[in-house]
């Protein structure tokens, strides 16, 4: 089975999701703050993967609105990720943490969505 570039973006996004949630949980325990720079660097990789999915999706007929949403997400996710530690301090901070997780998983979903909404069949095959 051919490994199309679109399929690579999906695989990369899935692997990143597992790595990020694992790193995030370790950071969340409060004992692994030294992993935060790695977590951020992997997050940047997801941004690049999202951009690749946008380019490939647009070339394969994915909806422009979905591509625009993905581009907005690719900026909003890292900005929110970097600012989140200072948002809603105290017991309400857990809402920020859950939102950060949701925003990250949604970015992975956008890579999937761009691939699935492509018109070319080889781009859709998982």
Give the footprint of ligand HEM on this chain (CB under 6 A). Answer: 17, 20-21, 24-25, 27-28, 36, 39-40, 43-44, 46-47, 77-78, 81-82, 84-85, 97, 100-101, 104-105, 107
CB of 40 to ligand HEM, least distance (A): 4
Please identify, using beta-carbon distances, which residue of 106 and 120 lies nearer to ligand HEM. 106
Cα 17 from Cα 12, distance rounded (Å): 9
Answer for the pair 54, 48: CB distance below 8 angstroms, yes or no: no
CB of 81 to ligand HEM, least distance (A): 3
CB of 52 to ligand HEM, least distance (A): 15
CB atoms within 10 A of CB 46: 22
Report DSSP state, residue 91.
T
Give the residue nearest to ligand HEM (CB).
24
Please identify, using beta-carbon distances, which residue of 4 and 9 lies nearer to ligand HEM. 9
CB of 73 to ligand HEM, least distance (A): 10
Picking from 44, 60, 42, 48, the residue whose alpha carbon sits closest to that of residue 6 is: 60
Picking from 75, 66, 76, the residue whose alpha carbon sits closest to that of residue 109 is: 66
């Amino acid at each position: 089975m051919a490994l199309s570039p679109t399929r690579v973006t999906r695989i990369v996004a899935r692997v990143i999701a597992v790595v990020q949630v694992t790193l995030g949980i370790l950071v969340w325990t409060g004992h692994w703050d030294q992993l935060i720079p790695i977590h951020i660097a992997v997050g940047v990789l997801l941004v690049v993967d999202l951009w690749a999915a946008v380019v490939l999706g647009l070339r394969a007929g994915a909806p422009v609105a979905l591509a625009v949403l993905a581009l907005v997400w690719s900026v909003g996710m890292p900005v929110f990720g970097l600012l989140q530690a200072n948002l809603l301090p105290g017991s309400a901070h857990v809402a920020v943490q859950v939102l950060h997780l949701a925003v990250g998983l949604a970015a992975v979903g956008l890579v999937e969505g761009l691939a699935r909404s492509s018109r070319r069949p080889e781009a859709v095959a998982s």
